[in-house]
Structure 1
Amino acid sequence: MNQKPNKNIEDLVEEFSELLYSWAFYKTSHRETAEDLVQETFIAAYQSFDKFENKSNYKTWLFSILKNKISDFYRRKFKDNYKALTNTGDSLNNVPLDKFFDDNDNWIKERRPINWNDNNNLLDDDEFISILNYCMDNLPELWNSAIQFKYLTDKDSKDICKELGITPSNFWQILHRSKLQLRQCIENNWFKK
């Protein structure tokens, strides 16, 4: 017989915790959040353990639960941030683009991007990664999440907009403003150090 051995939830925790944590951390870039998501994954697995039908292996089953937990996390986070943004009367339009561009939509000389061409291996530099994370953490949460979804996941823009509960034009505006702020933060903290 070629049947899977019966495992209990403790066996799954022992076997898959590190792998699930690595994936959750990759998707969230936050240690405590990743730990919480893995814990929620195992709680959900425990609650539905008797329903597992061996149609997939345990690893696939646990990762599908984790992926749903990660999506739920971002969905909650975006909704909370969007509500906070709209409840304070703040809006994306209140972020002053005029600090980057003049009245003719040209770069202000002092704000013009500097040349980054000499730095092809920045992502291999731990200090640069630390500064990038610092700059990402200083973005509004909705912007941070939009950037992470756009550049760190395989989702297309339509799915990201649906996930965030925003319009496509709002999404592109968020990306544009986020990139401007990230560029300024990185230039100030890395290139001008």
Structure 2
Amino acid sequence: MSAAPQWDEADLVALQSDLLRFARIQTGNAETAEDLAQETLLAALRHRGQFQGRAQLKTWLFAILKNKINDYLRHKQRHSSVFAETPAEMELDELYEAQFDSSGHWHADGIPVHQRSPEQDLENRQFQDVFQACLYGLPENTARVFMLREIMGWDAPDIQSHCGISAANYYTVMHRAREALRQCLQIKWFNHREPT
């Protein structure tokens, strides 16, 4: 039997800012995010022997963090809505509206161009870095809703309840998040690549 891959505290510290950023978007609170990131790192140290190297250290840490965030969000008693439209969301609305003509059809330059399949790009580490930058560039509330659904795996009714938004608002936010990500990826990834 081979030994589990080795990592040390320096490896954890190197990933701490990514953990903090993700937790901050999910909780909307810097102190809570810091607590959850620290709990994640402590859990990783306590359960170091369970890391078998079948996934990257970062993937394993984010799985721990996602569970901690889920626990926090599901047990948190909410007294007010977490979702309030910010200037960044309003700017995203304007960006979204600019993609269509007066009849509601796409402008010709707004249609995405793909050189490779999305599956091939997801396997590409550089693409993942660009995607993460685009995701973290979304307005905070939009990113929160998108991440709860697409990364945390929450169901739409749970997200609507947690964020205090209607079903229609949820679907609008998700559509606009996907559109903003598509536009960002088009600019930062697809337009800067050589055809394969």
Matching residue of 1:31: 19
Matching residue of 2:160: 161
Q: Are residues 155 and 177 of structure 1, via their aligned partners in 2, closer, same or farther at CA, if it must alter by over 3 Å?
A: same
Higher RCO structure, 1 or 2 (CA under 8 Å, sep 6+):
2
TM-score when normalising by structure 1 = 0.59
Matching residue of 1:99: 98
Q: Please state if 1:192 is matched with 2:191.
A: yes
Q: Please state if 1:129 is matched with 2:128.
A: yes
Q: How many residues align?
A: 145
Matching residue of 1:150: 149
Classify the secondary structure of the residue corresponding to 1:30.
helix
CA drift of 1:185 comes to: 0.3
Structure 1: 5+ residue stretches without partners: 1-17, 44-61
- Do the aligned residues in 2 keep the contact of 1:101 with 1:107 (CA within 8 Å)? yes
Larger CA Rg, structure 1 vs 2: 1
Q: Which amino acid aligns with 2:157?
A: K
Give the distance between the partners of 1:142 and 1:124, measured in 2 at CA.
28
Classify the secondary structure of the residue corresponding to 2:138.
coil
Matching residue of 2:71: 68
Q: Are residues 161 and 129 of structure 1, via their aligned partners in 2, closer, same or farther at CA, if it must alter by over 3 Å?
A: same
Give the distance between the partners of 1:104 and 1:143, measured in 2 at CA.
26
Give the distance between the partners of 2:167 and 2:178, measured in 1 at CA.
17
CA drift of 1:162 comes to: 0.5
CA drift of 1:117 comes to: 4.9
Q: Are residues 93 and 31 of structure 1, via their aligned partners in 2, closer, same or farther at CA, if it must alter by over 3 Å?
A: closer
Structure 2: 5+ residue stretches without partners: 1-8, 24-32, 43-63
Give the root-mean-square deviation of aligned CA atoms. Answer: 4.0
Q: Are residues 105 and 124 of structure 1, via their aligned partners in 2, closer, same or farther at CA, if it must alter by over 3 Å?
A: same
TM-score when normalising by structure 2 = 0.59
Classify the secondary structure of the residue corresponding to 1:95.
helix
- Do the aligned residues in 2 keep the contact of 1:102 with 1:108 (CA within 8 Å)? yes
- Do the aligned residues in 1 keep the contact of 2:114 with 2:190 (CA within 8 Å)? no
